[in-house]
Chains A and B, each alone.
Chain A
Amino acid sequence: MTSASSELDTHTRTYLAVFGALAILTVVTVTVGYLSLPVGAAIVVALSIASLKGALVASFFMHLISEQKSILWLLLLTLGLLLVLIFILIIAFYDHAGTIIVT
């Protein structure tokens, strides 16, 4: 019983540490936002920090680090399809770049 509860204490500490990391990363991303970087760099930095925060939430709060591999494959497939979706839209855009579609 004592080992089980101390294991849970470790979990609680992990959750609080992840919360701290998420809070710090939020402050970092806002601070970088005020630096007025060039648009391209700003997008890369903001999305990298967001992805890192997302990975922390998924890994620790959603327990993906200890979850069944089938769930991971399902999520990878979903992310792959999401990238295809975005890619198709971007291709469609550049295919019509310069053409006025809606007047």
Chain B
Amino acid sequence: METIPYTVTPREDTGLINAKLGIWLFLASEVMLFGGLFSAYIFLRLGAVSWPEGSSILNVPIGTFNTLVLIGSSVTMVLSWAALAEKRFDRFRLYLGLTMLLSLLFLVVKGFEYSEKFSHHLYPASSSFMAIYFTLTGLHALHIIGGLVVNGYLWGPGSKMWASDPERFTNRVEIAGLYWHFVDLVWIFLFPVLYLL
């Protein structure tokens, strides 16, 4: 079977393993994806006759709680990678498991927030604010779900690679972590923009 090159040793010309260059290129495209929607937010807000204060519609304490949950999941994610670097597979499992639990908690809280809005008959069509709120947080939540799928694979069936190729597996976890921290980073900007301003 043809193996994928440069999964462990860096490529000479880039000085990076291929997966790392790949994920950073992907994240650069993600910056532009979310950046486009952030621009849409600015455009809508500039053009609006009046714009509601986020805190008058959204629940700030719940948003703050979710921010802390997501930051916590970023820490456990990086600790799971550090555990593998220390060759502590049991700790890796524990930390990645915690990361997934925290991501699930984030989604549950987000779902609660959404249903709260729906119960007050606030839908994406209700106003420009609600439209951009649901678009930005919805796209972000899809990214959380994507991260859960990847992390779930690495925690479960994918972790078999630890026995056969530990270095490559450690790199996989690092790459998944880079994606996860990016999802955290997007929320760090979404939270003040939507909830506080």
* Interface membership of B158, Cβ < 8 A: no
With A89-B39, A90-B42 as contacts: A12 and B79 at CB distance below 8 Å:
yes
With A46-B197, A89-B42 as contacts: A23 and B71 at CB distance below 8 Å:
yes
Minimum CB–CB distance for B19 against chain A, Å: 13
A33–B25 touching, CB < 8 Å:
no
With A61-B78, A82-B31 as contacts: A93 and B197 at CB distance below 8 Å:
no
A71–B39 touching, CB < 8 Å:
no
With A23-B71, A61-B181, A74-B24 as contacts: A43 and B31 at CB distance below 8 Å:
no
Our pick among B35, B191, B193 for the contact of A82 (Cβ within 8 Å) is B35
B15–A70 touching, CB < 8 Å:
yes
* Interface membership of A8, Cβ < 8 A: yes
Binds A, one of B60-68, B133-141, B148-156, B162-170: B60-68
Our pick among A27, A62, A86 for the contact of B178 (Cβ within 8 Å) is A62
Report which residue of B14, B20, B177, B185 has the largest number of chain A beta carbons within 10 angstroms of its beta carbon: B185
Our pick among A15, A42, A54, A70 for the contact of B197 (Cβ within 8 Å) is A42
* Interface membership of A81, Cβ < 8 A: yes
Our pick among A22, A32, A71 for the contact of B16 (Cβ within 8 Å) is A71
* Interface membership of B52, Cβ < 8 A: no
Q: Which residues of B contact A93 (CB under 8 A)?
A: 43, 46-47
* Interface membership of B111, Cβ < 8 A: no
* Interface membership of B114, Cβ < 8 A: no
CA distance A37 to B74 in the complex (A): 31
Our pick among A33, A50, A57, A79 for the contact of B74 (Cβ within 8 Å) is A57
B188–A81 touching, CB < 8 Å:
no
B68–A49 touching, CB < 8 Å:
no
CA distance A93 to B192 in the complex (A): 23
Q: Which residues of A contact B14 (CB under 8 A)?
A: 68, 70
A42–B196 touching, CB < 8 Å:
yes
* Interface membership of B86, Cβ < 8 A: yes
Q: Which residues of A contact B188 (CB under 8 A)?
A: 50, 53-54, 57
Q: Which residues of B contact A16 (CB under 8 A)?
A: 75
Interface string of A25-36 (1 = CB under 8 A from B): 011011011000
Q: Which residues of B contact A89 (CB under 8 A)?
A: 39, 42-43
* Interface membership of A47, Cβ < 8 A: yes
Q: Which residues of B contact A3 (CB under 8 A)?
A: none
B32–A85 touching, CB < 8 Å:
yes
